[in-house]
Amino acid sequence: MIQSGQAIPSVKTQLINADGTMETTSDAVLGSGLVVFFSVPGAFTPTCHLNHLPSFVANAAKLRAAGVDRIVCAAVNDKHVVKTWAEASGALGEIDFLADGNAELADALGLAKDMSASGMGRRFTRSAALIRDGIMQQIFLEDAPGVTATGAPAILMALETAKA
């Protein structure tokens, strides 16, 4: 798993944002300024759709006021599903999305999880991270179902602690 102080790897991915969908690389998206990056097991899955993503949408202004330049959500889904999820959730424009259809970014970051037992294949582990200029600063993982350590309130607390 990627550690604090390590550079974000360069992996081809699809960026979905208010400007549309485009091919890019993970280091291009996550490599400038202070980025909050969070990963979810899947678009439209209950916890991701009802808890994790909404916490970042609701706190986007607070995160930006705390110095965050970009908020990025990654999911192991194709670009069409991720785009539809971004639109349906009202997050497009507040959050940028990375569609990691083949779990290549999840693998490169060491955040892939085998969820085959539940019929989901390889997915992202639920996580959140603070990345500054392409260097991992802090990473948070959930060790149980739900969203506690990786939700926007926890990231806001981490940002506040870092200022102290």
Q: What is the CATH number of the domain that holds 71?
A: 3.40.30.10
How far, in Å, CA of 160 to CA of 164, rounded?
7
Nearest Cα residue to 45 out of 77, 18, 70, 14: 77
Residue 3 domain-assigned (yes or no): no
Residue 7 domain-assigned (yes or no): no
Q: Could you give the number of structural domains in the chain?
A: 1
Average pLDDT score, the chain = 94
- The reported pLDDT for the residue numbered 7 is 98
**Overall average pLDDT of the 121-136 stretch:** 94
**Overall average pLDDT of the 63-68 stretch:** 97
Q: Which domain holds residue 153?
A: 12-163
Residue 22 domain-assigned (yes or no): yes
Structure confidence at residue 162 as a pLDDT band (50, 70, 90): confident
- The reported pLDDT for the residue numbered 164 is 63
pTM for the structure as a whole: 0.95
- State the catalytic residue, choosing from 15, 16, 34, 48: 48
Residue 130 domain-assigned (yes or no): yes
73 is catalytic: no
Residue 4 domain-assigned (yes or no): no
